A and B are shown apart, each in its own frame.
Chain A
Amino acid sequence: MDDDRWGIIGHEWAIDMVRHALRTERAGHAYLLCGPPAIGKATIALRLAQALLCGAAAAPCGRCRDCTRIAHGNHPDVRSTGLAEQGQGLKAEEAARQRDLKIDSVRGWIADLALQPYEGRRRVFIMHDAERLNDSGANALLKTLEEPPPYAMIILVANTTGDLMPTIVSRCRMLRLRPVPRATIDAALQSTGVAPAEARLLAAWSGGRVGWALQMRDDPAAWQALREQLDELIALGTLPRHAGLEWAEARAQAWRRGEHAAVTDELLRWQLWWRDVLLAQAGQGRHMTHLDRAAEAARAATQFHIGAVHAFLVRLTQAHGQLRENVNPQLVFEGLVLHRPRPH
């Protein structure tokens, strides 16, 4: 890497901390990287692995055989596990429906820990989706996490720490990553050749999730689909009740089919839209997520009562929790539709 930031956008303090620990040879034996999805946790885990295994003076160089193999997931001394690895060999829809990181995945990973480095001096063990560890998986991990072999570094990657057992969290050095500032993402996107207007928009929509912004930059079709989804969600605010109920039923069916991630994302998108309306009402329009919809948000700001918008946002937050706790999805979505803010 040519810079001091390991080629990572944002998270300067975290990189500095890890670099300092590595330089003074006081790196921990286990790290826990947590933060919202697509924020750069997995990338930092990979860079950390590269920094440990790269032979160059300014590790990680990003160009040597070790670094490229780590980036391609082909390095023998870096072992990852997670829902993606666990889902290997399953059908696509079965893989998407996995909820837990199972004990067998954990055991296979731990068994590998007993083996000495294959090529270098160190081995790096990365566990993605650690928040999905079920109880038996987490318990199986505890002993290894407390006292891994001297050559091993364990990196747990989790979206939230709330679902992790406190005994796991306390055994790791925690790096709690926060959303990256909008201006940082904007500048980074522009430096890769994205047009300024587009970069500003992507940075705003990303909500500080760098990985998301890069993904959408590379997949215009997916971004177009998201913008159409937002159109639909904005329209939903004023649709007649029967059309709203149809929407609710369709979402409930998708949830029952196991498309949890897609449905959750859509709810989140809707929530962000109402947040935009609330921001417009509070005169803070520049902080809006959907900058390109400023005019619509301003119109909605005059249409709805600020109290009603706030109440609905609270209700959307509750809906996320209810879905997680196995409340009947159809009731959840119908409840949302029936309690939409009414225009005055």
Chain B
Amino acid sequence: MKLSCLQENLRRGLATVSRAVAGKSSLPVLANVLLATDSGRLKLAATNLELGITCWIGAKVDGDGAVTVPARLFTDMVGGMPNDRVDLNLDGRTQTLHVACGRFEANIKGIEADEFPNVPTSAGSRAIATFPPQALRDAIAQVAFAAATDDTRPVLAGVLLRLRGSRVQFAAADGFRLAQRSLELAGAGTADQDIIVPARTLLELSRIIDDEHDIEIIVTQSQVLFHTPSLDVVSRLIDGRYPDIDRVIPTSHTTRAVLDTQEFAKAARLASFVAASSSNIVRLTLESGGDLGPGRVIVNANAAEVGDNRGALDANIGGPGGQIALNVKYLADALAAMKTPQVALEFENAQSPAVFRPVGADGYVHVIMPMAVR
């Protein structure tokens, strides 16, 4: 392998793939990044088996080849080199990579590229859906945070992608809350399919995709590939059956309140300081204004040892009103995911889940289970 490329491109490429380098792994080769020539470009790839990132950068290739080198070392070394042309030259016998840039040069001992796990490619597969980058990023931001962070139920650490024709649903739940977002795609999908993608993967994906290219989704037997011309993100799918989310989302409500999203978020934030000392409990009291005018929502947190906090918000309330106790952290997360100036809160009674919907925008719903308060 013999090639040259620009330090800046190489540095950026390494920064992109290094998020997938396994920090601590039982496979030594996973601490390495794969460098390979690929039709006139340099391919960089890293994987921790759950998440794999491949990116291509422009290079002048004088000889084909591939090798893996320790990711940390190589990234640090390239980062410290001047913004100039970098020459990479592999000694195939000793698997040592010679790196030269300006007046600096270095030799890095690598591991054979054959030892590196296969990284799936888009070749020969058809995309089941294509997303505009901004829409995908929004959907991930609105849903992925609701996935479980512990591993007690592996499927809940993932985000369900449910493809139905040209409609795609993103859903995540951790047993206490559920977020669901629907998207209409421009092109019709190929087949109806449900896949569970680890939430971590989606968060990484939304961080590294650029705004120029649409993202194609390709599903193989046990993996999903997010593909753009210069970047591939591969993730293992989570095996298992996702709980039936449609049964969790209540279909009816007795009380509906429409509030200003910003004000509500501010009140939740204030309440959270006190609620932190009382299991994060915040009480919402919905007082219907009757015929006289708009109603009020009282946001109240109370900790015996610390003190209390009370905020009153104007709201349009339909129905009898009532009281519900929620985890303030979940409330704040739900409000942060709303993109509209107003949010609707729907519920039946103190024991039924609270449903949040953006007002004036379809396709997003957030459900929070109530807390039992005596």
Listed in ascending order, the chain A residues whose CB lies under 8 Å from chain B are 65, 68-69, 72-76, 79-81, 85, 88-89, 107, 111, 114-119, 149
- Known interface pairs A107-B151, A111-B154, A115-B49. Does A74 touch B27 (Cβ–Cβ under 8 Å)? yes
Q: Does A79 contact B114, Cβ atoms closer than 8 Å?
A: no
**B66 near A: Cβ within 8 Å?**
no
Q: Identify which of B3-11, B134-142, B232-240 touches chain A.
A: B232-240
A-B interface pairs (CB < 8 A), number: 57
CA distance A118 to B24 in the complex (A): 18
Residue from A69, A75, A111, A114 in contact with B240 in the complex, judged by beta carbons closer than 8 Å: A114
Q: Which residues from chain B contact A111 at a C-beta distance below 8 Å?
A: 151, 154
- Contact residues, B1-58 vs A (CB, 8 A): 24, 26-29, 49-50
Listed in ascending order, the chain B residues whose CB lies under 8 Å from chain A are 24, 26-29, 49-50, 111, 114-118, 151, 154, 221-223, 236-240
Q: Does A114 contact B26, Cβ atoms closer than 8 Å?
A: no
Q: B26 to nearest A CB, angstroms?
A: 5
CA distance A76 to B116 in the complex (A): 9
Q: Does B115 contact A115, Cβ atoms closer than 8 Å?
A: no
Q: Does B151 contact A118, Cβ atoms closer than 8 Å?
A: no
CA distance A324 to B237 in the complex (A): 45
12 further A-B pairs in the complex, CB-CB below 8 A; given A114-B240, A118-B222: A72-B28, A72-B115, A74-B111, A74-B115, A76-B49, A88-B24, A111-B151, A114-B238, A115-B236, A117-B222, A118-B49, A149-B239
CA distance A81 to B25 in the complex (A): 10
Residue from B27, B29, B239 in contact with A114 in the complex, judged by beta carbons closer than 8 Å: B239
CA distance A327 to B24 in the complex (A): 37
Q: Does A89 contact B24, Cβ atoms closer than 8 Å?
A: yes
Q: Which residues from chain B contact A65 at a C-beta distance below 8 Å?
A: 114
Q: Which residues from chain A contact B239 at a C-beta distance below 8 Å?
A: 114-116, 149
Q: Does A118 contact B27, Cβ atoms closer than 8 Å?
A: no
Q: Which residues from chain B contact A75 at a C-beta distance below 8 Å?
A: 27, 117
CA distance A85 to B154 in the complex (A): 23
Q: Does A76 contact B50, Cβ atoms closer than 8 Å?
A: no
Q: Which residues from chain B contact A118 at a C-beta distance below 8 Å?
A: 49, 117-118, 222-223, 236
Residue from B24, B115, B238 in contact with A69 in the complex, judged by beta carbons closer than 8 Å: B115
Q: Does A116 contact B236, Cβ atoms closer than 8 Å?
A: yes
Q: Does A74 contact B154, Cβ atoms closer than 8 Å?
A: no
Q: A127 to nearest B CB, angstroms?
A: 11
Q: Does A73 contact B26, Cβ atoms closer than 8 Å?
A: yes
Q: Which residues from chain B contact A72 at a C-beta distance below 8 Å?
A: 28-29, 115
The 4 closest A-B pairs by CB, nearest first: A116-B222, A114-B154, A76-B117, A74-B29
Q: Which residues from chain A contact B221 at a C-beta distance below 8 Å?
A: 116
Q: Which residues from chain B contact A89 at a C-beta distance below 8 Å?
A: 24
Q: Which residues from chain B contact A74 at a C-beta distance below 8 Å?
A: 27-29, 111, 115-117
30 contacts between A and B (CB under 8 A): A65-B114, A68-B114, A69-B115, A73-B26, A73-B27, A73-B28, A74-B27, A74-B28, A74-B111, A74-B116, A74-B117, A75-B117, A76-B49, A76-B117, A79-B26, A81-B26, A89-B24, A114-B239, A115-B50, A115-B222, A115-B236, A115-B238, A116-B221, A116-B236, A116-B239, A117-B222, A118-B49, A118-B118, A118-B223, A119-B117
Question: Which residue in chain A gives the minimum CB-CB distance to B27?
Answer: A74
Q: Which residues from chain A contact B117 at a C-beta distance below 8 Å?
A: 74-76, 118-119
Q: A110 to nearest B CB, angstroms?
A: 8
Q: Which residues from chain B contact A85 at a C-beta distance below 8 Å?
A: 26
Question: Which residue in chain A gives the minimum CB-CB distance to B234?
Answer: A118
Question: Which residue in chain A gives the minimum CB-CB distance to B240?
Answer: A114
Question: Which residue in chain B gives the minimum CB-CB distance to A76?
Answer: B117
CA distance A54 to B49 in the complex (A): 19
Q: Which residues from chain A contact B28 at a C-beta distance below 8 Å?
A: 72-74
Q: A137 to nearest B CB, angstroms?
A: 15
Q: Which residues from chain B contact A81 at a C-beta distance below 8 Å?
A: 26
CA distance A68 to B29 in the complex (A): 13
CA distance A202 to B239 in the complex (A): 49
Question: Which residue in chain A gives the minimum CB-CB distance to B155?
Answer: A114
Q: Which residues from chain A contact B50 at a C-beta distance below 8 Å?
A: 115
Q: B34 to nearest A CB, angstroms?
A: 12
Which residue among B49, B50, B240 has the maximum number of chain A CB atoms within 10 Å of its CB? B49
Q: Which residues from chain A contact B238 at a C-beta distance below 8 Å?
A: 114-115
